[in-house]
Amino acid sequence: MMYKIDQARLGELFAAIAEKKDLFLPVKKADQTDFALWTKEAEVDLDTLRTVKSPKDCFFPQSETLYNTSLEEGKLSIDAAALCDRDFVVFGMRACDVQAVKVLDNVFLADPVDTYYAARREHAVLVAGACHEPEETCFCKVFGIDAAAPAADVATWRVGEALYWKALTKKGEALSEVVKEHLTPAEESAVEEAQTQIRSIIDKLPYSHLKLDVFKETPMMELFDSDRWEEMYKPCLACGTCTFVCPTCQCYDIRDFKTKDGVQRYRCWDSCMYSDFTMMAHGNMRTSQMQRFRQRFMHKLVYYPDNYEGMFSCVGCGRCVSKCPAALNIVKVIKTMGGEG
């Protein structure tokens, strides 16, 4: 069922959610918008199309403690970090970032299950917003994502002076019950014109019609051995920006930190673009930047879909397109490998 609430009353909606669950949503701070915990003082920013980093942080934090160890009188104790045990809502996600969570699910929820990630997913409710003003760097349509109808627990649309709300899952229905006194019933037809307009804009964007045929039809080793990698990689600075803004990158490192009383083991995001990534006692299996560059894009466009029934590990959010300092991104790779670049 469709509901609505005046946008001027969204503060009431946020407060009602936060009373029962932790609420994360886009917050502007120092002219940058990222997902953060809602407070009454927070400058909520639902107008910015893309946050700098994706809401991936809510499920797979950039850094998290796994356990602490201590040694007392010759006895070693290990205290594992507590798993997430409180429900939370991630409000204002875009359709591309919702799809990115599904990409992460395939990795972290497969055997052996990542218990830290699984606990967060179990307690999370995803509330997504349609993209009313898609940007030129967006290309989610290439991967079958509909920015006009985000497939989350709750989908929302901002039309006129109202925010329209529709629960799509049992989690979404349960959240609707929590805030029902702030919502009024509405006609589903109210968002149809907005959806048509969104899809029309997306259809005209410069990257909306990229062709992925070469990655679907060409044998893996033929793509791997292509001379085009050598042509493409040279402007790459190996800065890792693309991996840190990407909503689907899942590489991490596990490190130990000596504390006053023992050792803390934690994990943090890492990047396949770094020369010390996967470093082992005998050295590194990828010894050149070309090999590391190739690994990143082969994983997104070939290895991942080969393992997950054709699902690509790119969602067309456009963050890497707008952030890469060398203008070397996945769009350029798709075009070059497909003979368009």
Q: Calculate mean pLDDT across residues 227-239.
A: 93
Task: Among 165, 180, 204, identify where a domain stops.
Answer: 204
- pLDDT tens digit sequence for 45-79: 999 999 999 999 999 999 999 999 988 877 888 99
The CB-side HSE value for 19 (13 A sphere, CA atoms) comes to 9
Percent of the chain, pLDDT > 90?
86
- pLDDT tens digit sequence for 168-188: 999 999 999 999 999 999 998
d(CA 329, CA 318): 9
- Tell whether 51 and 138 lie within a shared domain: yes
- Tell whether 223 and 197 lie within a shared domain: no
174 within 8 A of 153, measured Cβ to Cβ:
no
> For residue 186, which phi and psi values (nearest 5 degrees)?
-145, 160
- Tell whether 176 and 95 lie within a shared domain: yes
- Tell whether 232 and 173 lie within a shared domain: no
Number of domains in the chain: 2
- Tell whether 271 and 149 lie within a shared domain: no
Q: Calculate mean pLDDT across residues 211-235.
A: 95
**pLDDT on residue 279:** 66
- Tell whether 197 and 255 lie within a shared domain: no
Token pair listed for 178: 């929590």
- Tell whether 266 and 327 lie within a shared domain: yes
Task: Among 204, 232, 251, identify where a domain stops.
Answer: 204
DSSP element (H, E) containing 102 = helix 95-108
What average pLDDT does the chain have? 94
- Tell whether 133 and 227 lie within a shared domain: no
- Tell whether 33 and 63 lie within a shared domain: yes
- Regarding pTM above 0.85, the answer is yes
* CA-based nearest residue to 124, from 163, 158, 165, 174: 174
- Tell whether 175 and 287 lie within a shared domain: no
d(CA 266, CA 63): 7
Task: Among 153, 184, 204, identify where a domain stops.
Answer: 204
Residues contacting residue 169 through CB under 8 Å, at least 6 positions apart: 153
- Tell whether 192 and 272 lie within a shared domain: no
- Tell whether 59 and 102 lie within a shared domain: yes
d(CA 143, CA 99): 10
d(CA 165, CA 176): 9
- pLDDT tens digit sequence for 235-284: 999 999 999 999 999 999 999 988 888 899 999 999 988 877 776 666 66
Could you tell me the residue range of the domain that residue 299 belongs to? Answer: 213-337
